[in-house]
Amino acid sequence: MRYVIAGNSVATVAAIEAIRKRDDKGEIVVISPEPRTAYCRPLITYHLAGQVSSDRLSYKQESFYEARGVRVLYNKALEGLEPEKGRVVLTGGEKLEYDRLLLAIGATPFIPPIEGVKGPGVHPFTSIDHMEAVEAHLKDWKEVVVVGAGMIGMKTAEALHMRGVKVTIVELLEKILPIVLDDASSAWAQEALEKAGVDYVLGDSVVAVERDGRGDVKGVTLKSGAFIPCQGVIVAVGVRPNVAPLEGSGIDINKGVLVDDRMETNLENVFAAGDVVEAYDLILGAKRPIQLWPLAYRQGLIAGANMAGGKKRYVGGFPINSVGFFDFKVASAGLSTVEPGVEESFEVKVFEDKERGIYRKVVVGNNRLMGFIILNDICRAGVYSGLIWSRMDVSLFKDALVEDMSMPEACRLSAHGLEPWSFESMRDFRRMGWSLFPRSYRKHFTAMPSRIEEVCAFESEVCTI
């Protein structure tokens, strides 16, 4: 049996682990256009900022592949798929046959058709290659424009700021982190930027990258007509599933590769996992790309297990983010942007204490938690995520969800009219916290890391299948 895996990141690592649990003899071949072992993509902005050393970027060393008998074809990419012949086409036209194929080729940054965008000094920021290219410019860059105020844009802006570069963020929508923050919490993020001395422009877009006679960047022009001088531009307006190499193969693609709950595509023996797929969103009840590390890991595990004869099912996922920048920490998940009083089908509860820096918001629909935002004191993120996962009926304690008391206190107080219990140690807190949830759901608490530092430590022991 030959397992071919295109891509060499987290979904691939998980698939290798799952295959080897069931099949210790089959041949595993990994196709890796990047000349390095799997690394922690979420950490590249931390590395640029000087907060994470090169050795911590690596997610798996050569020994991981060697110990599992995996052959990695470095500097080779999947360029085509011939399912009727059961083979893939690689860089240079080489063909490789498979018995089972996993497509784990991730997503590619979207570069909008801005005048002058092609050329030196303009970079996306999603890989080590991008990071090294930006690093090489830093001695010449005094001013940089970051296009897009999403997670990657904000983390890159923070890293550049920490390296002494003057940063201006330009965002098309009227909010910082527009996909995850509501108006109130976005205003908090703006304050954090102002405090840090970082400029931002909202509700405007870059229409041209202006270059001097030598082709070097000298600034950007905005739709409003404003000109911002800069020597470099980071384009961070989102990523798209990397489906280009699959075109014409007959594989079903919408925005991403469509998979069933076994992570199998419409093509026989062809599976897909990670940022390239459109898988089930538990909250929306529909398939869509959700590009997150823990979901890619879980999908890779399930795909790998099924490729090796297992019968594992992907129950779905939902967007969950935890990020900190410029002393501003946010955890959010699901339908977090629903504004209070705007949509009848949702109840929105907010607790805000500006002086203590606390903002908690939950969105409840049909008595189930559908989304949340927590600023700064984000330790409740795991419990909220657990409530979303479990689809637990929160009607008895929904009013207390955002209140300034511990979750077990809140649940027990409003559910039974009892005095809140005192939890003197973290151990008690955890024990009582767990006891609120059915045993079968507990693994989901640990399966969804809530802090960036935990994301890359996300391993099979907390997500065993």
Binding site for ligand FAD (CB under 6 A): 6-12, 31-34, 41-42, 44-45, 77-78, 104-107, 125-126, 152, 242, 245, 274-275, 291-294, 296, 323, 452, 455
* Residue 45 vs 332, nearer CB to ligand FAD: 45
Shortest distance in whole angstroms from residue 166 CB to ligand FAD: 21
Shortest distance in whole angstroms from residue 259 CB to ligand FAD: 12
* Residue 125 vs 200, nearer CB to ligand FAD: 125
Shortest distance in whole angstroms from residue 58 CB to ligand FAD: 13
* Residue 251 vs 455, nearer CB to ligand FAD: 455
Shortest distance in whole angstroms from residue 294 CB to ligand FAD: 6
Write out the DSSP string of 213-231: TTS-EEEEEETTS-EEE-S
Shortest distance in whole angstroms from residue 123 CB to ligand FAD: 12
Alpha carbons 312 and 271: distance in angstroms, whole number: 13
* Residue 42 vs 83, nearer CB to ligand FAD: 42
* Residue 323 vs 362, nearer CB to ligand FAD: 323
- Burial status of residue 12 (CB atoms within 10 A of its CB: 0-12, 13-18, 19 or more): buried
* Residue 291 vs 337, nearer CB to ligand FAD: 291
* Residue 126 vs 385, nearer CB to ligand FAD: 126
Task: Quote the DSSP letter at residue 458.
Answer: -
* Residue 20 vs 412, nearer CB to ligand FAD: 20
* Residue 8 vs 414, nearer CB to ligand FAD: 8
- CA angle in degrees (0–180, nearest 5) for 8-14-16: 75
For the chain, the C-alpha Rg in angstroms (whole number) is 23
Shortest distance in whole angstroms from residue 284 CB to ligand FAD: 18
Give me the phi and psi of 136, to 5 degrees please: -65, -25
Alpha carbons 41 and 109: distance in angstroms, whole number: 13
In the numeric block, the tokens 């920048």 are attached to 325
Tokens of 225: 């007509």
In the numeric block, the tokens 């995520």 are attached to 385
Shortest distance in whole angstroms from residue 80 CB to ligand FAD: 9
Alpha carbons 251 and 257: distance in angstroms, whole number: 7
* Residue 5 vs 228, nearer CB to ligand FAD: 5
Q: Is the alpha carbon torsion for 330, 333, 338, 344 positive or negative?
A: negative
Could you give the 3-state DSSP secondary structure of residue 422?
A: coil
Please report, to the nearest 10 degrees, the dihedral formed by the alpha carbons of residues 300, 303, 308, 313 taken in order: 120
Amino acid at 65: Y
Shortest distance in whole angstroms from residue 156 CB to ligand FAD: 7
- CA angle in degrees (0–180, nearest 5) for 65-68-70: 55
Report H helices in 287-419: 293-307, 381-390, 407-416
* Tally of CB atoms within 10 A around 178: 17
* Residue 322 vs 390, nearer CB to ligand FAD: 322
Alpha carbons 263 and 47: distance in angstroms, whole number: 33
Shortest distance in whole angstroms from residue 170 CB to ligand FAD: 18
Write out the DSSP string of 31-54: EESSSS--B-GGGHHHHHTTSS-H
Shortest distance in whole angstroms from residue 256 CB to ligand FAD: 10
SS3 content of the chain, % helix, strand, coil (to 5): 30, 30, 40
Shortest distance in whole angstroms from residue 45 CB to ligand FAD: 5
Could you give the 3-state DSSP secondary structure of residue 222?
A: strand
* Tally of CB atoms within 10 A around 116: 18
Could you give the 3-state DSSP secondary structure of residue 342?
A: coil
